[in-house]
């Protein structure tokens, strides 16, 4: 699994990038046992149609571009696509949106994914602290992280106990435990993702930053819906 992961990273460096495309980051996640949405890469609109049929509707289409970091900020993500016609329209719209935002952007392709049922969103991240090295962050998605800064941190390598503690110490933990008719999230599935991000971070020194945002936390299981991995300068 380490060798396979290093291959993915080598390909990115050879392509002149110091970051992984979402599909590469998700492949790496899967190598380390982190569940992700089912996805396929299409180089053009015709291929997007083919792979959407393979994956089966509903699907999500996302831009693949070395020049775009936050895909939805530039209209590069369209969810809940339910027919061939909608796939074609979504690809055209995404291309237009991206090029309007950055006329020089290279369109590397389209990522077609299985649409996952929306639910409670959490985030797991890794950054390298100059003093402590790889550090894992956990929080709930959206405003909880961006506005309320309700997050917890632990330094790699984490024990199962560390992972459990960092989930339980955020203020929004009651939301994960289940409130007002919301079912509880599968805490064990979240612990496993945190531990696997810790494992990736301690094994692969070429990785500078990991951002799994969002992870959909279901009553049974959790899946990574978006993954971004930044590499050390090659």
**Sites of contact with ligand ADP (CB under 6 A):** 37, 60, 62, 70-72, 77, 79, 113, 115-116, 214, 225-226
Q: Which two tokens mark 168?
A: 């339980």
For the CB of residue 77, give the shortest distance to ligand ADP in the complex, in Å: 4
Cβ proximity to Mg ion, 79 vs 93, nearer residue:
79
With beta carbons less than 8 A apart as the criterion, state whether 162 and 155 touch: no
CB closer to Mg ion out of 162 and 226: 226
Contact partner at residue 192 from ligand ADP, Mg ion, none, CB < 5 to 8 Å by partner kind: none
Q: How far is the CB of 226 from Mg ion (least distance, A)?
A: 3
Q: How far is the CB of 222 from ligand ADP (least distance, A)?
A: 13
226 lies in the binding site for Mg ion (CB under 5 A): yes
Residue 194: how many other CB atoms lie within 10 Å: 26
Q: What separation in angstroms does the CA of 16 have from each of 13, 19, 82? A: 5, 9, 35
Q: How far is CA 203 from CA 5, 24, 94, 156, 230, in A?
A: 10, 17, 36, 10, 15
**In this complex, which beta carbon is closest to ligand ADP, that of residue 96 or of residue 129?**
96
What is the smallest separation between the CB atom of 226 and ligand ADP, expressed in angstroms?
3
Least CB distance to ligand ADP at residue 76 (A): 7
Q: Whole-number minimum distance, CB 155 to ligand ADP, in Å?
A: 26
Q: Which stretch binds Mg ion (CB under 5 A): 88-96, 115-123, 159-167, 218-226?
A: 218-226
Binder of residue 95, out of Mg ion, ligand ADP, none (CB less than 5 to 8 A by kind): none
**At 187, which helix (H) or strand (E)?**
helix 187-203
CA 195-198-200 angle, 5° bins: 115
| CA dihedral sign, ordered 22, 23, 27, 28 | negative
Binds Mg ion (CB under 5 A): choice among 213, 215, 216, 229: 213
User: In terms of CB distance, is 34 or 158 closer to ligand ADP?
Assistant: 34
SS3 135: strand
Q: Which is nearer to Mg ion, 2 or 69 (CB)?
A: 69
Measured CA to CA in angstroms, residue 179 lies from 122, 149, 174, 183, 221 at distances of 16, 21, 7, 7, 18
Closest CA to 21 of 222, 29, 74: 29
Distance of CA 59 to the CA centre of its chain: 16
Name the site residues for Mg ion (rule: CB under 5 A): 213, 226
């Amino acid at each position: 699994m380490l060798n396979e992961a290093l291959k993915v990273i080598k390909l990115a460096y050879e392509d002149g990038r110091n970051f992984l495309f979402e599909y590469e980051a998700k492949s790496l996640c899967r190598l380390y046992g982190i569940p992700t949405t089912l996805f396929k890469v299409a180089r053009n609109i015709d291929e997007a149609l083919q792979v959407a049929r393979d994956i089966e509707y509903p699907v999500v289409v996302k831009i693949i571009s070395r020049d775009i970091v936050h895909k939805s900020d530039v209209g590069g993500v369209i969810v809940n696509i339910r027919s061939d016609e909608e796939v074609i329209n979504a690809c055209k719209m995404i291309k237009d949106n991206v090029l309007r935002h950055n006329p020089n952007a290279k369109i590397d392709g389209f990522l077609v994914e299985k649409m996952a049922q929306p639910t409670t969103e959490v985030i797991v991240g890794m950054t390298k602290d100059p003093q402590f090295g790889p550090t894992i962050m956990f929080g709930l998605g959206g405003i909880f992280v961006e506005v309320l800064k309700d997050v917890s941190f632990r330094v790699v390598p984490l024990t199962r106990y560390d992972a459990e503690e960092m989930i339980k110490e955020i203020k929004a933990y009651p939301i994960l435990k289940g409130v007002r008719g919301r079912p509880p999230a599968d805490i064990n599935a979240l612990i496993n993702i945190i531990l696997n991000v810790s494992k990736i971070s301690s094994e692969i020194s070429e990785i500078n930053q990991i951002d799994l945002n969002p992870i959909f936390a279901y009553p049974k299981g959790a899946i990574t819906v978006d993954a971004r991995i930044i590499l050390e300068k090659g």
